[in-house]
Structure 1
């Protein structure tokens, strides 16, 4: 049993120490979770689903997107009958279930994707002290609003790491890129410049 505790302790970094007692944070798995997010950020299942349905039956796709999303993320998912009523009885139960099956066929086992938000949460947590967290959030949102092409051409993890770097440079933090940030982001300072 002591070896298991030692193994878990070694896998949990200083950044995650405050989460050890929080069972929902899954601190012992956080490194693996973010490796998975980095693998996913090169795949965009939403575009594949959009192309597959050729913009037809968007309301039906939207209803199922909400149904699937709620089952994945929320404690209580809506019932199919509630969705039928919400769509003004446009669809019957079989339509909704058939579309849900088609969406799952396109998505495969990928029910999540890595967005800039998951990396924002992680990388700003690695900012010790948390002095420029709000600047990182603002810079990342600004990039998304003003420079959409940059967002589309780069991985979310690299964009967020870059905004962390820019914010530290703007605030004259030294060093601009720490070993902790390199470890948690996987990027070297010269990659972000």
Structure 2
């Protein structure tokens, strides 16, 4: 079935089904009056800043394997200090952006307490100087369209419960370590992870008109990315970089890492 045919069927389904609002107008924290404009900014920003799939070619000092080790360590640091979830994703965007500008550095967290986990190799002044350098390179633009902001929106459209939410974020976090995943746009990565999570939990339907509306993708468009995510999930238990796997074995994260991956995605 062609992509255009799927789009026609999606449009027809949307005409036949009244789609529910996913926003709570009574909750001021949701800023429902502005949420469409906020996400329109994210969509436009994402389109203007394509995935940095070849940025490692610019950095002769950093290999994909070294990148994986660094990101795995940063996930561990993030979890150890119980930082906000969004911090992890902003960190990775900032890291990639600096590398892409050929800044021949390794980025180290700016939080003073983190100096101790780097074996006291850096002084406070060195960390602060590096922070200033990064901010200048990024032109102080820190509000980026990360996988985190898209996943929050897509999970609302999925009318998710905690287990689905934890599994979707687990799959995304596994992908942070994988250089291969950097070739996909954040929104596409999130849509594919949510699709794999719903398929894994055998939720019917795996993809709904409401998700089509807010994620702006059909199943045919997320298929390749979903296959990549499933492959990463299958090897998570036996991989060398296992911080995310061990983290999501915890009961407070629904132990989703223990869920058996699908043999294959549904046709």
Same structural fold, with TM-score higher than 0.5 when normalized by the shorter chain: yes
Q: Does 1:133 align with 2:165?
A: yes
Residue 90 (structure 1) shift? 4.2
Query: Whole-Å Cα distance in 1 between the matches of residues 94 and 166 of structure 2?
Result: 30
Query: Whole-Å Cα distance in 2 between the matches of residues 88 and 144 of structure 1?
Result: 28
Number of equivalent positions: 149
In the alignment, is the contact (CA less than 8 A) between 1:127 and 1:133 conserved in 2? no
Aligned counterpart, 2:143:
112
Q: How does 1:73-112 map to 2 (within 5 A)?
A: 90=125, 100=132, 106-108=137-139, 110-112=141-143
Give the number of the structure whose residues are more often helix, by fraction: 1
- TM-score of the superposition, structure 1-length normalised? 0.60
- TM-score of the superposition, structure 2-length normalised? 0.46
Query: Whole-Å Cα distance in 1 between the matches of residues 96 and 175 of structure 2?
Result: 21
Q: How does 1:1-193 map to 2 (within 5 A)?
A: 14-17=21-24, 20-41=25-46, 42=49, 46-50=95-99, 51=101, 53-55=103-105, 90=125, 100=132, 106-108=137-139, 110-130=141-161, 132-145=164-177, 148-193=178-223
Higher CA-based Rg: 1
Q: Which runs of 5+ in 2 are unaligned?
A: 1-19, 51-92, 112-121, 224-267
Residue 52 (structure 1) shift? 5.8
Higher relative contact order (CA 8 A, sep 6+): 2
Closer/same/farther in 2, CA of residues 187 and 103 from structure 1, 3 Å limit: same
Closer/same/farther in 2, CA of residues 14 and 49 from structure 1, 3 Å limit: same
Aligned counterpart, 1:5:
none
- What is the RMSD of the two structures over their aligned residues, measured on CA atoms? 3.3
Query: Whole-Å Cα distance in 2 between the matches of residues 135 and 89 of structure 1?
Result: 37
Query: Whole-Å Cα distance in 2 between the matches of residues 129 and 48 of structure 1?
Result: 32
In the alignment, is the contact (CA less than 8 A) between 2:23 and 2:30 conserved in 1? no
Residue 53 (structure 1) shift? 4.4
Residue 46 (structure 1) shift? 4.4
